[in-house]
Amino acid sequence: MNVLVIGGGGREHALAWKLAQSPKVQMVYLAPGNGGTALDDRLKNLPITDMVALRDWALEHKIALTVVGPEGPLAAGVVDDFRAHGLRVFGPTKAAAQLESSKAFSKAFMQRHGIPTAHFAVFSDAVAAHAHLETTGAPIVVKADGLAAGKGVVVAATLAEAHAAVDFMLADGAFGSSPAGGEARVVIEEFLQGEEASFIVMCDGKNVLPLATSQDHKRLQDGDAGPNTGGMGAYSPAPIVTPDVHARAMREVILPTIRGMEKDGIPFTGFLYAGLMIDAQGKVKTLEFNCRMGDPETQPIMARLKTDWLDVLWAATEPPGATGLADMELQWDRRTALGVVLAAHGYPHTPRQGDAISGIPKETEDAVVFHAGTRLHDGVLEASGGRVLCVTALADSVRLAQARAYETVAQIHFEGMQFRSDIGFRAVKA
């Protein structure tokens, strides 16, 4: 069969790469894909970014299954539309995607269903928000309500920073306008301490199948310094998620969320990503929900998956009442996978495009380079976005996976290339 992956980042390259390994898959189309997916014979890019045009294309080309990578099309209702036209698609509906697209929605949802999360208050009025900050003090966290491509969260160490964040997020024309198109809102929430992990599950509307655990590195520089980014590297599994923490996350966060969505009349289908903060006692709080897989978490997770990915997605998209994911078991490579993001000059604020990329080695059994912001320009591979590549390697320990990944990084070159040299540092045993 022919399948379609919507998106063009490193996450989508990894999803498509894994799908292409299934003997049942003839061709994986990506819309729009990137320079790396253009170079792979088993993958084909489609220059279609309009979702209605893409749906018509999928109907015409009898696409058997579509997987949606990024949050944008999900929040815009691509799943509702594909389904309404009889297409098989994995992802949440527009209503369910609010778990990610509106922080105010997801915080109210968590409160209503007793899901552990930071204390919070929501404001659309700047004066009230400023007054509230005077009662909380710092450190404090200010979040824009709508989708903000990773730029909507300010962890403020001082009240001055927090006040500035409120002014910025509630200002006219800022990105923080509500997803419903109404007035801008901010969520002000308690600062949580601990270690973060990404807990991603698949859901068919009823059954939940956890994927391997992972941890991302959100800051630009080594030692978690510098500005927040979309993610500079990730590894799987994340040892912080002990069997105990795993059971707690399922019991206290994931299952109540899926049941809660069902109860609220918005059954959840798709990937559900809970960003967890795990404290020293192993207690779990939910920092955020995403209604998609993580980028770059997907790259190491797909590198470890042994089960036929088409079979899994097929089961996950069975109609209500079928077995769905109930009997599905996933096999994982026992090794650690670790991905290092190579970002463009100026990322995250002003990424430069057009730098020519050289030295990407051929894929091996234990190292693969997933493309993100790359394109072919007159046959030359060049950077076209913030996060350019994700070098992903497998080995028997975090330290060995680091060594294998960085050995591969050393072969690759483009002007202004930025990367962290400490991916996986929290999991490296002294």
Residues 203-222 that bind ligand GLY (CB under 6 A): 216
Q: Does 177 bind ligand GLY (CB under 6 A)?
A: no
Q: Does 155 bind ligand AMP (CB under 6 A)?
A: yes
231 vs 385 by CB, closer to ligand GLY: 231
Task: Compute the distance between CA of residue 27 and CA of residue 44 in angstroms, rounded to an integer.
Answer: 7
Structure tokens at 378: 């007159």
Task: Compute the distance between CA of residue 316 and CA of residue 308 in angstroms, rounded to an integer.
Answer: 13
Pairing mode, strands 336-343 and 233-236: antiparallel
Name residue 410's beta-bridge partners.
none
Three-state DSSP class for residue 238:
coil
Q: Does 145 bind ligand GLY (CB under 6 A)?
A: no
Residues 125-144 that bind ligand GLY (CB under 6 A): none
Give, for 316, the enclosing helix (H) or strand (E): helix 309-316
How does 205-214 read in b/e, with b if 16+ C-beta sit within 10 Å? bbbbbbbbbb
227 vs 320 by CB, closer to ligand GLY: 227
Q: Does 295 bind ligand GLY (CB under 6 A)?
A: yes
State the minimum distance, in angstroms, from the CB of residue 194 to ligand AMP.
Answer: 8
Which of 96, 287, 367, 405 binds ligand AMP (CB under 6 A)? It is 287
Structure tokens at 181: 């198109």
Phi/psi of residue 262, each to 5°?
Answer: -60, -45
Q: Does 200 bind ligand AMP (CB under 6 A)?
A: no
Structure tokens at 215: 């941890």
State the minimum distance, in angstroms, from the CB of residue 230 to ligand GLY.
Answer: 6
Q: Does 69 bind ligand GLY (CB under 6 A)?
A: no
Amino acid identity of 326? Answer: A
Separation of first and last alpha carbons in the chain: 48
218 vs 259 by CB, closer to ligand AMP: 218
Which of 288, 318, 355, 422 binds ligand AMP (CB under 6 A)? It is 288
Give, for 3, the enclosing helix (H) or strand (E): strand 2-7
Which of 74, 97, 153, 343 binds ligand AMP (CB under 6 A)? It is 153
How does 128-163 read in b/e, with b if 16+ C-beta sit within 10 Å? ebbebbeebebbbbbbbbbbbeebbbbbbeebebbb
Amino acid identity of 323? Answer: T
Name residue 7's beta-bridge partners.
32
133 vs 144 by CB, closer to ligand GLY: 144
The secondary structure of 253-292 as a DSSP string is IIHHHHHHHHHTT---EEEEEEEEEE-TT--EEEEEEESS
State the minimum distance, in angstroms, from the CB of residue 232 to ligand AMP.
Answer: 12
Please give the size of the binding site for ligand GLY, defined by CB under 6 A.
7
Q: Does 161 bind ligand AMP (CB under 6 A)?
A: no
Residues 87-126 that bind ligand AMP (CB under 6 A): 118
189 vs 295 by CB, closer to ligand GLY: 295
**In the complex, residue closest to ligand AMP by CB:** 288
Which of 294, 339, 385, 424 binds ligand GLY (CB under 6 A)? It is 294
Phi/psi of residue 39, each to 5°?
Answer: -85, -10
State the minimum distance, in angstroms, from the CB of residue 71 to ligand GLY.
Answer: 8
State the minimum distance, in angstroms, from the CB of residue 115 to ligand GLY.
Answer: 19
Residue 80 interaction partner, one of ligand GLY, ligand AMP, none, beta carbon < 5-8 Å per kind: none
Task: Compute the distance between CA of residue 288 and CA of residue 99 in angstroms, rounded to an integer.
Answer: 8
Structure tokens at 21: 């390994």
Q: Does 297 bind ligand GLY (CB under 6 A)?
A: yes
Binding marks (x or -) toward ligand GLY, 253..292, rule CB under 6 A? -------------------------------------x--
Q: Does 295 bind ligand AMP (CB under 6 A)?
A: no
143 vs 304 by CB, closer to ligand AMP: 143
Residues 29-88 that bind ligand AMP (CB under 6 A): none
Which of 33, 176, 237, 275 binds ligand AMP (CB under 6 A)? It is 275
Task: Compute the distance between CA of residue 222 and CA of residue 81 in angstroms, rounded to an integer.
Answer: 42
Binding site for ligand GLY (CB under 6 A): 216, 230-231, 290, 294-295, 297
